[in-house]
Structure 1
Amino acid sequence: MRLPDLEAWAIFATVAEHRSFTGAAEALGLSKATISKAVSRLEADLGQSLFHRTSRRLALTEAGRPLAEHAALIIASAQAAEEAARDAASAPVGRIRLAAPMTFGVSKVAPLLSEFLAAHPGVEIELHLSDARVDIVAEGFDVALRIAELPDSSLRARRLCTIQSYLVAAPAYLARRGTPTHPGQLGDHDLLGYTNVSGPWRFRGQDGADISVKAQGPIAANSGEALIPALVAGLGIARLPAFILGDTMASGAVVELLPQWRPAPIGLHLLTPPSPLRPARVEALIAFLGDRLRD
């Protein structure tokens, strides 16, 4: 049996991460020639090109994109195996790449990290905040927090808690346009859309009935927090989670609509790459976030 060229796979993964032969060489402490030869060797073994190369740009080919994910998993599994083989009593060390939604990350996750880092001084955290859905494997994240109903995937997912959303509007908007008494009436109103959540708004009645409404209105944004000024100004009705509404709702600047038709709750999930092998530092962060965010 011919063994895979693991060195070439690891180098390929690093080049794919940095989108640069030079960047990979610096990251690995190898010469650029060694990097180039390893990638060429792997391409010859596979019988296909992995990168489009120009004088200014390096990009993965159609065949290279899925293989880069496999290569990243090979490195992650090897790193986890090495760490697991070390003395179990040693303190976790190294960098963790953590992705989280923007507003939730700022308000709920970032305040927790100082506590975690104080307990694990050998660990570094790179926190990536974005409401866009990241590709955990391709972008090299160890852990991601996601607020959504998850599609089937190879990622390992753990549901931490339920996030409740509310349908709200400013009193000025309701005075001008009237107050809806049923989700079916929302089609006659201006609805402020959150573009990172696809599909219609879903509502569940107290009798268990489900109703879906297509959101259309004067503004849509890929950040829920960005909708707050338009909402308070009376430009429309929004469906937003409690952690974004926060003080805006408590102050009375907006009021809840259709309390008997609450938007269907969504889950806060902790996601990791598919490999069951994880470094001790990642396991420690998973346990910490699971404990702090479960409520």
Structure 2
Amino acid sequence: MNSRFYAQAEVLVEVVRQGSMTAAAAALRLSKSNVSQKIAEIENDLDAVLLKRNTRAIELTPAGKRVFDLCVKAVDALQLARGEVEHELQSAVPQGVVCLSGSNLYLSEFIMPLLPSLRENLPLVRIDLVGGDHIVDQRAEAVDLRIRVGTVDTDGVKVYPLAPLERVLCLHRDFLRDAKVPTDPSGLSGVPLILRSQENPEWVLRNNGKSTKQSVTNPVLRVNSYELCVSAVRSGLGAAVLAKAIVQKDMDDGSVVELLPSWKIDPIPVSLVVPVSKLRRPEVLAVSRYIVSRFHRGRDF
């Protein structure tokens, strides 16, 4: 059974068992739109309507009943197999090499400090780090684990939410000596802004239930990495949206200041992405659990 079909089958079974897509989404910890998408995919793949959608309660079509019976057997069998494999993994001694990828800045600021204690807990496991801001193809690049900042595709992978990154709009204090400090987002038109090429050029700022959008259509500087963006702010070249944890020391010593402190920018989600097939390896499972235990903000393994 391929991972795409299993994901579809698991959703179909849960929708029928729970009696609604909303309840199934909650049980599977997915969005309702994701659940609807999986149902649409399996119906499209099988070229058959499986669920009647014209009633409040979920009702299977004749074709849906046959497919559901097959899916129940497949899902239950795979879950049983998972339990048996999980038991074996728990009793196995983790050893080997685990390749972990992520942005250079995230790996250096958040993962690197964990490695000494991880080594103490898993002395037979070696961690290889692969840094970069590019999107990694975990299969092509033989990466076992990936730290993903932002949204992530869930097909064929397990996604474990980690602590989100709080973000601030900030710039170097020297800029404020010769410029008027803006008191609301409209004042940003007079501030040179720095943008990363991977970043959404429209910032959303919120204040007491109000929100406004700041379009960065003509940045004073465009960079292709987080490190360069941080360096540009520290060099006084302009303002940028950065993870607060990255510039916290600069803010503490006053060299970098937050602009519009009463206006907040939504935190950015962070996830540990693990191909389902990789979780069969004890060392990958052990490292995954360790990282999640330190930054956990979502469902358990």
Determine if the TM-score, normalized by the shorter chain, exceeds 0.5: yes
Cα deviation for residue 132 of structure 1 reads 2.1
Cα deviation for residue 142 of structure 1 reads 1.1
| Closer, same or farther: CA 85–234 of 1 in aligned 2, 3 Å | closer
Cα deviation for residue 166 of structure 1 reads 0.7
**For 1:163-178, what aligned pairs fall within 5 Å after superposition?**
163-178=165-180
Q: 2:123 aligns with which of 116, 121, 124?
A: 121
Q: Give me the whole-angstrom Cα distance separating, in 2, the residues matched to 1:130 and 1:224.
A: 9
Match for 2:163: what amino acid?
Answer: C
Q: 1:218 aligns with which of 213, 216, 220?
A: 220
Aligned partners of 1:184 and 1:213 also within 8 Å: no
Report how many aligned residue pairs link the two structures: 216
**What are the Cα deviations for residues 232-289 of structure 1, in whole angstroms up to 9, with x where unaligned?**
3432111110122132111111211112211111112111124485311111111100
SS in 1 for 2:280: coil
Unaligned 5+ runs, structure 1: 1-79
Match for 1:209: what amino acid?
Answer: S
Give TM-score, length-normalised by structure 2: 0.63
RMSD of aligned alpha carbons: 2.8
Aligned partners of 1:193 and 1:238 also within 8 Å: yes
Which residue pairs with 1:246 in the alignment? 248
Aligned partners of 2:145 and 2:273 also within 8 Å: yes
Higher deviation after alignment, 212-221 or 158-167: 212-221
Higher deviation after alignment, 189-198 or 253-262: 189-198
**For 1:70-109, what aligned pairs fall within 5 Å after superposition?**
89-109=91-111
* 1:230 maps to 2:210: no
| Closer, same or farther: CA 105–277 of 1 in aligned 2, 3 Å | closer
Q: Give me the whole-angstrom Cα distance separating, in 2, the residues matched to 1:271 and 1:130.
A: 16
Q: Give me the whole-angstrom Cα distance separating, in 1, the residues matched to 2:94 and 2:117.
A: 15
**For 1:1-295, what aligned pairs fall within 5 Å after superposition?**
89-150=91-152, 153-214=155-216, 216-275=218-277, 277-294=279-296
SS in 2 for 1:110: helix
Q: Give me the whole-angstrom Cα distance separating, in 1, the residues matched to 2:183 and 2:162.
A: 33
Identity of paired residues, percent?
Answer: 26
SS in 2 for 1:132: coil
Structure with more helix by fraction: 2
SS in 2 for 1:263: strand
**What are the Cα deviations for residues 105-138 of structure 1, in whole angstroms up to 9, with x where unaligned?**
1121012122222222222211112222212232
| Closer, same or farther: CA 192–199 of 1 in aligned 2, 3 Å | closer
Which residue pairs with 1:38 in the alignment? none
